[in-house]
Each structure stands twice: as C-alpha cells, then as structure tokens.
Amino acid sequence: MEQTREFEIFLVATPGLEAPLQAEAVEKGFADAKIVPGGISCHGGWPEVWRANLCLRGANKVLVRMGTFPAVHLAQLDKRARKFPWSDFLRTDIPVKVEATSRKSRIYHAGAARQRVERAISETLGAPISSDAGLRVLLRIEKDICTFSVDTSGEPLHKRGHKPAVAKAPMRETMAAMFLRECGFDGSEPVLDPMCGSGTFVIEAAEIAAGLNPGRSRRFAFEDLHGFDSRAWAELRKDGPSVNLDTVFYGSDRNAGAAEAAATNADRAGVAAHTRFQCRSVSDIKPPPGSTGLVIVNPPYGARIGDEKRLRSLYGSLGKVLMSRFSGWRVGIVTSNQSLARATRLPLLPAGPVVDHGGTKIRLYRTDPLP
C-alpha cells in the first residue's frame, strides 16, 4: 500500500447533514473537502483514508475511488474490468462482495454488470467472491461512466464499537454528533439531555470534549486491503494529547432501564467520569451547577409512540420547564413534526434542513440562549 499515492476520498453523509460533515472535514484538515451529491469529496493518500475512518464523527462510510472509465456495453465493461489493477487494492486471500448501480446509462442491468466484475476479480486476481464478505467493491455506472470504489470502513461508522446497550428508537451516533455541531457545541460547555435513552447525545458530547477519536474501539475494512501497513496504523491510532476535562455532561430519562443502559455505555466509551445519568421525568429536571450550556433532546415523534395530543402535552411541559428554569441555556430539539416543536412555545430559530432518520424525515429546531 503506497503511502504517497493520492485518491479521491468520498465521505458518505446522512442526507441533510452534508454541511456539518463538510465543516468537520475542513476543521480536521482534509484537503479540498467539498459537498457533492451524497456526501463530501476530498483528497489524500492511505493515511488520510485511515484518519477519516478514525476521527470523523459525521461520516457514515469512507469510500476510496479506485478508477473511472467509459463503457457503453457489457463486453466493454468486462474487458476494462479484466485489465483493472485489482492487485493494487485487493488481496488474493480476502473475500470480496461486489455491488453495482446503474443510472442513465446504456449498461442498464446492474445485476449483469456486477456479475462481469465479480468474474473479472476472481479470474484475474483469484480473490474469492462472497455475498457476505466484509470487504465491498462498488461499481457505479452513471451516464456511461463506470466508477470503481472500495468501502474502507466495513461496518457503518455510527457503530463506534463501544455501545452494546441500545434503547428504543436510538439516535445514530453520526447524526447526534452533527446535530451537536449544528447547535454550536465545541466541547467547552455542559450538555444536558432530559430524554437521554441510551445516552448517545451525552456520550458523543463527552467524547468530543475529551478529544477521543470515535473509531478508537473498532476495526475497519481497510485493514484487509493489499499492502496495509499495520505499524503506521498503530502509530496513527495512538491517543492524542490528553485533555484536562472538568466539564460534566448530563442525561436523564423517566425509564430507569434507559438511564442504567446509558451509564453502562458511557463506561464502555471511557467517559463515565465526565457523565451523570439519572432516572427522572422531564418535569423534575433542573440546570446543573456551574455555567450554562446546551439542552439537546430527541423526544418521541408520534410515528412510533403514542398519539399527537399526548405528545403535544409532553412537548408543552418540556418547553415550560426549559423557559422557567434554564435561562441562558440554548436548546436543540430533534423532531419530525413542526407543530410538536411549536408546542414547546420556545423562541425557535428557523428550522434546520430535513434529515433522513431511517425513513423518517426529521429536523433540528434550535434557540438562542433563553431569556
């Protein structure tokens, strides 16, 4: 694996969260990070690919563009695929899964295109093809241009590797991190989530403040690529400078099991010393001692739990508690229903973009510091 070789690196974004992911990539020093359909494009060598997987909180996947060529029929694709330098990327002993998509192209049968590429890889390189392989090669055919990419992440990046206990309707870690960023959170203030579920917002906030890499506890598909340098990777993975963290991050939930699960998850993530979880209802929450910060919450939307009338009352009491007790705190509410957000009667700023949360369209509603 040549350390100096440059690639186009594609960071897959959650639809609607491209802007904060681009801001994060720029902040972390990824070259030419720009928004393109589906995510963020940037450039770099293998160490940058590893670093993207290790340290970016908002990316769902990190793909490397291996090569591009035109093809207008299957025979042409077959010929090009057999000449492609697979051995620069893939190993002969690691199984590969091939996935193909086709759009506005004369090669319109994605399944047939996939089979040609599978045969080319198995017959020219000798690598086994398996539908449940952990290493994925992606073929995209768009307007007769074929692009080969390799998924260097493996499991989606919201799977941080240290969170076994999950409450109902969990917020994905990648989304939680980007919503925190959209609320202006930079790690220097307390965060409180009064409906914390399995603790995702609180744990992400504590990790950000502590300077912990989100991918520190897991392995990645790039470890199975040709020429992977395990020594250089181990060097990159070494913990960065230890942050002297005196901020505490708070979560509460009326479900005692959720609060316990959140505490377990925080412990597994290594941030138990900087988090506090309690079993309490929304009406009982109070600002913790010390400076003001951010209240961020992902309440029930109604699609899954209960009726809107009951939820309006829940959102109304949340808004009342925040307005009466949390002067100087900013608020972020993630919900699918604008009328529920308005039921809080909080001084909401214009809503953020629509975000796709597993098929449910949600938005972030924010406030400035409350009066």
Here the CATH number for the domain that contains residue 341 is: 3.40.50.150
Q: Do 52 and 194 lie in a common domain? A: no
Cα 25 versus chain centre, distance: 13
> By CB neighbour count within 10 A (0-12 exposed, 13-18 middle, 19+ buried), where does 82 fall?
middle
Tell me whether residue 247 is in a domain.
Answer: yes
Using an 8 Å Cβ cutoff, are 44 and 6 in contact? yes
Alpha-carbon distance 313 to 1, whole Å? 58
DSSP secondary structure, 191-240, as one string:
EEETT-TTTHHHHHHHHHHHT--TTTTS--GGGGSTT--HHHHHHHHS--
Across the range 77-88, mean pLDDT stands at 97
Across the range 182-200, mean pLDDT stands at 96
Q: How far is CA 278 from CA 249, 271, 314, in A?
A: 12, 16, 19
Q: Do 147 and 179 lie in a common domain? A: no
Q: Which domain holds residue 75?
A: 7-151
Q: How many domains does the chain have?
A: 2
Query: What confidence score (pLDDT) does residue 304 get?
Result: 54
Q: Do 53 and 125 lie in a common domain? A: yes
Tell me whether residue 350 is in a domain.
Answer: yes
Residue-wise pLDDT for 104-139, tens only, equals 999 999 999 999 999 999 999 999 999 999 999 999
Here the CATH number for the domain that contains residue 43 is: 3.30.2130.30
Query: What confidence score (pLDDT) does residue 301 get?
Result: 85
- pLDDT bracket for residue 71 (50, 70, 90): very high
- pLDDT bracket for residue 248 (50, 70, 90): very high
Tell me whether residue 272 is in a domain.
Answer: yes
- pLDDT bracket for residue 4 (50, 70, 90): low
